[in-house]
């Protein structure tokens, strides 16, 4: 399915979704945190701190700080890799999946309203 929006309509949709998300959910993710979270949930695992840093073009420390925050929110979890104990593997959580499902539903709802 393809949806065609003008730049103004796309930004308006993003604006409405962002405002509603802030009002409805106490968790306030930065753009970087959201990019990391979406990558973890939309790209097949495994995900490592090193891999995420390379994908986003940032340092491992930047990823670690973002994961600390998202871990405190219950959106992701980290475990040591059983094969290579130096690596930390990022795991999805039920809380993170529900958060993104609600966000997806919100985007769909606001997108439908845009079409009316």
The residues, ordered by sequence, that sit 6+ positions from 12 with a Cβ below 8 Å of its Cβ are 114
Q: What percent of the chain has pLDDT over 90?
A: 76
Instruction: Find the helix or strand (DSSP H, E) in which 20 lies.
Output: helix 7-24
User: Which DSSP category does 74 fall into?
Assistant: T
- CB atoms inside a 10 Å sphere around CB 57: 7
CA distance 59 to 45: 20
Please give the torsion angle defined by the CA atoms of residues 109, 33, 42 and 10, in that order, rounded to the nearest 10 degrees. Answer: 40
Segments making up each domain of the chain, as ranges = 7-115
Q: Read off the pLDDT of each residue in 73-101 and give the average, rounded to a whole number.
A: 92
Q: What is the pLDDT of residues 47-85, one digit of tens each?
A: 999 999 999 999 999 999 999 999 999 999 999 888 888
Domain range 7-115, CATH class: mainly alpha
Q: Read off the pLDDT of each residue in 12-32 and give the average, rounded to a whole number.
A: 89
Which residue in the block uniquely carries the two structure tokens 């919100």? 106
């Amino acid at each position: 399915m393809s949806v065609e929006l003008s730049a103004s309509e796309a930004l308006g949709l993003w604006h409405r979704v962002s405002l509603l998300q802030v009002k409805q959910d106490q968790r306030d993710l930065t753009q970087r945190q959201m990019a990391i979270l979406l990558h973890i949930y939309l790209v097949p695992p495994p995900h490592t701190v090193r891999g995420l840093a390379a994908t986003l073009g940032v340092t491992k420390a930047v990823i670690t700080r973002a994961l600390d925050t998202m871990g405190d929110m219950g959106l992701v979890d980290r475990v040591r890799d059983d094969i290579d104990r130096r690596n930390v593997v990022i795991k999805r959580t039920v809380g993170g999946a529900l958060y993104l499902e609600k966000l997806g539903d919100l985007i769909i709802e606001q997108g439908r309203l845009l079409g009316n």
